[in-house]
Amino acid sequence: MTDSGGVAVRDRQVGTDTGWLIGPIPQCEPEPLSETPVTRRAGTARVGRPATSPQRPPAPAVGAPVADRVDPSARAFAVSALTRVLEVIDRRRPVAHLAAVAAPHIVDQVTALMHRSAASSAPGGRRPPTASLLRVHLQWSGPDAAEVTASYSRGNRVHAVAARVARVPTRIRPTVPGGPRVTELRWTLVNVTTV
């Protein structure tokens, strides 16, 4: 038997030897401040970004889904950047390769981590197994930034990585000597932590 709230009720008499009572669960969640429905129009599918200026993406439409306001190339960048970080830590790549994809303080952190791991390795010991990126997930915090969670394996162990990628202004070298310097928005690894 169930009551009006769909909760099983064995006996409505409380205090009897055989009976027990289970009532509906009270409402514990606060009421939403406002509800703004976000729906995708039927029959529309997003297959790519329109050709626009690489300087700045178009302004997002008010009430548009987050998936329509973000750059799909961010995930590809996150996979590439985290793979590069793991390759540098494993000494399969030089540290200088991080400068193109990571903020300067990230390069310093990875360099310090490499020195620490070199000092703690056993003398004459074998090299530890190389790291391999397994999964990468992005949670958008805005159209120009995303939080990244990833997992990677090293030998038979699985480790976690948390990172943040953001589109930041980057100065580009002139293509011709003495030419004008250009600044454009590029995806950059601005924070990374591994366990």
Are residues 188 and 103 in contact, defined by beta-carbon separation less than 8 angstroms?
yes
Least trusted range by pLDDT, from 71-75, 93-97, 184-188 = 71-75
- CB of 98 within 8 A of CB of 84? yes
CB 164 within 8 A of CB 148: yes
User: pLDDT digit string (tens) for 86-111?
Assistant: 999 888 999 999 998 999 999 999 99
pLDDT for the residue 51: 46
**pLDDT for 103-133, tens place per residue?**
999 999 999 888 776 656 656 667 778 899 9
Q: Which residues, other chains included, contact 19 with Cβ-Cβ below 8 Å and sequence gap of 6+?
A: 10, 11, 12, 13
pLDDT of residue 177: 86
For the chain, what percent of residues have pLDDT higher than 70? Answer: 64
DSSP assignment string, 17-54: SS-----PPPP-SPPPS------PPTT----S-----T
pLDDT band, very low/low/confident/very high, at 34 (cuts 50, 70, 90): low
pLDDT at 44 over 50: no
Q: Whole-model pTM?
A: 0.61
Please say whether the beta carbons of 152 and 136 come within 8 A. Answer: no
In the numeric block, the tokens 């990677």 are attached to 152
For 152, the 3-state DSSP assignment is strand
Residue 52 has a pLDDT of 47
Mean pLDDT of the chain: 77
Q: Is the pLDDT of residue 56 over 70?
A: no
> Please, what are the domains in the chain?
71-118+130-172+180-194 (3.10.450)
Give the pLDDT confidence score for residue 159 in this predicted structure: 95
Structure tokens that stand for 97 in this block: 């390769």
For residue 8, pLDDT beyond 60: no
* SS3 state at 142: strand
Least confident of 5-9, 148-152, 172-176: 5-9
DSSP 14: T
Please give the structure tokens belonging to residue 158: 């699985």
Q: Which amino acid is at 65?
A: P
Closest CA to 139 of 148, 130, 131, 126: 148
Higher pLDDT, 21 or 6: 21
The closest of 79, 73, 75 to 152, measured between CA atoms, is 79
